[in-house]
């Protein structure tokens, strides 16, 4: 999950600075400056450039005729954008809810020191190793009625069986939830399992002696103790949901119609498929601002935490 890492040059400088002399600081800076410059240019300068473009009339190529915020008004008057934002809401809520729930349950089951734990853990974690494109295409085949699950169940004799969500505009967005959930649940399980293993077994033993049942122990002691893991998992999943793109492209490509578009696919289609660079830029800025609204409080609390330590 390399994309899931939160890159923060400030972190590394602070760590390198600890306990060393000024020479180490210099070395640290020398090592970091190239990547900081690269990130500064390729991330922040381009974010700023996208912001500038979103204020212009650019169509096929950049055109610096400024029109204020009118691209944003146009964006929010566009049904396709509204649909994609609503889809993002549905998708994020269900995806995060299901994945966190299932990941936690799986982790608790695995935490019971069962046999063949390693093998089972690998199986659950395995989908994470597959790229979203592959997941998308595999699920597309599974979900296509005349090819996948529906056909299989019908061939077993259930002639009326119906599972056609992927071709139903009202249900298509839920197929993306299914595929994304399948891909990420094992990863969430691994994080929770690590957190559960970090809980001091003495506390659990003490609770046992006091007569608490296993569900009670998990509900009142263990789960509250792994709260930091919840925060990490939710932030990672939320940000994964916000930037979902390849999965949608491979699974439904936004269809049927525009029923399963997300803001990211909207942005891509408008920028590259339709020569509406400024509209695409405005939607990209909206996505960036949404990500920032999630990430900034998270980073802030993390950094404050670190300083206190």
Residue-wise DSSP of 173-208: HHHHHHHHHHHHHHHHHHHHHHHHHTS-HHHHHHHH
Residue 222 and residue 290: Cα distance in Å, rounded? 32
166 is an interface residue for other proteins by CB under 8 A: yes
Choices 88-96, 126-134, 144-152, 191-199 (CB under 8 A): range interacting with other proteins: 144-152
Toward other proteins, which CB reaches closer, 78 or 290? 78
Q: What sign has the CA pseudo-torsion 303, 88, 75, 269?
A: positive
Residue 126 and residue 129: Cα distance in Å, rounded? 5
Choices 56-64, 88-96, 176-184, 295-303 (CB under 8 A): range interacting with other proteins: 56-64
Toward other proteins, which CB reaches closer, 21 or 273? 273
Choices 6-14, 84-92, 162-170, 203-211 (CB under 8 A): range interacting with other proteins: 162-170
Residues between 103 and 122 that touch other proteins (CB under 8 A): none
Toward other proteins, which CB reaches closer, 215 or 273? 273
56 pairs with which residues across the strands?
66
Choices 94-102, 165-173, 285-293, 295-303 (CB under 8 A): range interacting with other proteins: 165-173
The stretches of the chain forming alpha helices (DSSP H) are: 9-17, 22-39, 46-53, 70-76, 79-110, 117-125, 132-143, 149-155, 172-197, 201-209, 214-217, 223-225, 227-242, 246-251, 263-268, 277-308
Residues between 184 and 243 that touch other proteins (CB under 8 A): none
Toward other proteins, which CB reaches closer, 17 or 255? 255
Toward other proteins, which CB reaches closer, 31 or 130? 31
Contacting positions for other proteins (CB under 8 A): 30, 59-62, 74, 77-78, 80, 140, 144-146, 164, 166-167, 169, 172, 252-253, 255-259, 272-276
């Amino acid at each position: 999950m390399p994309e899931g890492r939160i890159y923060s040059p400030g972190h590394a400088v602070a760590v390198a600075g600890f306990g060393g002399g000024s020479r180490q600081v210099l070395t640290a800076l020398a090592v970091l400056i190239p990547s900081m410059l690269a990130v500064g240019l390729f991330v922040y300068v381009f974010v700023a450039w996208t912001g500038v473009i979103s204020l212009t009339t650019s169509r096929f190529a950049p055109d610096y005729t400024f029109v204020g915020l009118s691209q944003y008004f146009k964006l929010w008057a566009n049904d396709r954008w509204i649909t994609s934002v609503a889809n993002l809401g549905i998708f994020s809520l269900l995806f995060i809810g299901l994945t966190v729930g299932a990941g936690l349950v799986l982790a608790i089951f695995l935490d019971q020191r069962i046999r063949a734990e390693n093998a089972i853990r690998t199986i659950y974690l395995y989908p994470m190793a597959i790229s979203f494109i592959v997941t998308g295409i595999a699920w597309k085949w599974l979900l296509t009625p005349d090819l996948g699950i529906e056909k299989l169940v019908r061939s077993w004799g259930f002639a009326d069986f119906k599972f056609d969500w992927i071709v139903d505009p009202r249900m298509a967005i839920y197929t993306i939830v299914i595929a994304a959930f399948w891909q990420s649940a094992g990863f969430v399980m691994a994080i929770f399992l690590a957190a559960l293993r970090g809980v001091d077994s003495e506390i659990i033993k003490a609770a046992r002696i006091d007569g608490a049942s296993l569900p009670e122990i998990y509900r009142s002691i263990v789960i509250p103790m792994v709260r930091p893991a919840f925060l990490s998992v939710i932030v990672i999943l939320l940000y994964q949901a916000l930037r979902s793109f390849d999965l949608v492209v491979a699974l439904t490509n936004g269809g049927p119609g525009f029923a399963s578009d997300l803001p990211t696919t909207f942005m891509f289609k408008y920028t590259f498929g339709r020569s509406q660079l400024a509209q695409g830029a405005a939607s990209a800025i909206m996505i960036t601002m949404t990500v920032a609204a999630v990430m900034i409080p998270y980073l802030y609390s993390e950094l404050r935490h670190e300083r206190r330590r």
